Amino acid sequence: MILLIDCGSNKTKFIEEIVDNYCDVMSVPLLDVTVDHLQGKSGVILSGAPILVTEMDTTPYLKRTEWIKTTELPILGICFGHQLVGLHFDAYASRMREDRDWQLIEAFEDCILFNRLPNEIEMMEDHCESISIPAGFQLVASSDACVNEVMQHTEKAIFGVQFHPEVSGNHGSVLIENFVNHCMHSPFH
């Protein structure tokens, strides 16, 4: 079972629909999530949110997700979820030009998220902030609009994507499926 942390995006239901094709999914609102929700799960996905991390106090969100730094479960952060993961590992967020359109994403490092995908894929964006590459992570993919489109932890199965694969057609669905498959075959399953 995958734990889907609903951070408030209107796109979260599409993540749930994709994951539900491959395994059970439990959706919990971000501010309700506790470490107990991790028990018996194979992995965690953090959704996007209508929240600007450069303009709000992120402390309540960071407190609710402190376990990100210590869990052994695979994690996929999407948009706000990607930024939240980065903030836990000392990334800094900055404003950028608003991007609410398709972008060509180029992957230049091996990453399980890109299994069965070409190195260049178009994904739908919906953000006006980006994060730096946090300590312990490597940059996997970039676009002309945003440097940190995809990152992965160098030692743990923690991934972040700035774009929204859940509304990016077949390639986006494959990316989420790749994460779910990794979770289902991890030692915690």
Q: Which residues are designated catalytic?
A: 79, 164, 166
Name the one residue in this structure whose structure tokens are 């967020």.
93
Query: Would you say 158 and 68 are in contact if contact means Cβ atoms under 8 Å apart?
Result: yes
CA distance 80 to 30: 11
Q: Counting beta carbons within 10 angstroms of the beta carbon of residue 133, is it exposed (0 to 12), middle (13 to 18) or buried (19 or more)?
A: middle
61 alpha carbon, distance to own chain's centre: 15
